[in-house]
Amino acid sequence: MPRFAANLSFLFTERPFLERFGAARSAGFAGVEFHFPYAFDRAALAEVVLTSGLDVVLFNLPAGDWAAGERGIACHPRRIAEFQDGVGLAIDYAKLLGCPRLNCLAGIAPPQVDADRARETLVENLRFAAAVTQRAGIELLVEPLNTRDTPGFLVATSHAALAVIEQAGLANLKLQYDIYHAQVMEGDLARSLREKLPRIGHVQLADNPGRNEPGTGEINFPFLLDDLDRIGYAGWVGCEYKPSGRSEDSFAWMARWR
């Protein structure tokens, strides 16, 4: 049976961030994920997590100026020191919150940097980050983002992500498979998940089009989520979708698995 984690960067956004943990618990979730914890005092955040009783299952490495449109800095040759400092900061937060995995966003290659140089930088940064996180007992993930929503994103497909993972060559490095992004860029979801299962460290979902909750678009989630059970996926499934109404009204689709 899938274990669903509420993505607090998408769900319960009517509330301040620290109040979303309690809302997720009240809605029946046992785990949460989110984009970034770095704007919040570590002690206050840790207390909220402890009080909620929730597992923090995932968050991202620092990804540059998100508000300005940056979506990661791992492919930026001139920002390697910034990236490495961010890995250390993320590990500090992950240890404090008991989070077992971190996600790396490759980013959009700077216009003055060719794709090969950007990819080389990404691979070297992944080697560094995977080695450091492994020593900390934390798994590192790489997530493809579709180029419709994020034009120019360097790693846009699961195939491209697995290629840089293989090139980096560390067992601690896994694929974050977001069903929404994969549907936009690739389709053939069930077969893709089956083939890539040994390299998948985390799964996220949203329907397409619209990136809303399952049942609002074209993806056959009853089949797909049941198939995750059939193929033996035992990890979390992050609910990284934009609710079409109130967050609390967007969970009816989960009844099948609760």
- DSSP character string of 89-125: HHHHHHHHHT--EEEE---BPPTTS-HHHHHHHHHHH
Identify any residues that bridge with 55 across adjacent strands, giving them in sequence order.
31
* Phi-psi category of residue 53: left, alpha or beta, with phi > 0 → left and psi -120 to 50 → alpha: left
Contact 256, 228 (CB under 8 A): no
Q: How many helices (H) and strands (E) does the chain have?
A: 8, 8
Of 204, 107, 122, 113, nearest to 165 by C-alpha is 122
Single-letter amino acid code for the residue at 43: A
Residues with a catalytic annotation lie at: 143, 240
CA dist., res. 208 & res. 86, Å (int): 32
CA dist., res. 109 & res. 72, Å (int): 9
Q: Mapping DSSP to helix (H, G, I), strand (E, B) and coil, where does residue 45 land?
A: helix
* C-alpha pair distances (Å), 206 with each of 21, 66, 211: 20, 21, 5
Q: What is the DSSP letter of 39?
A: T
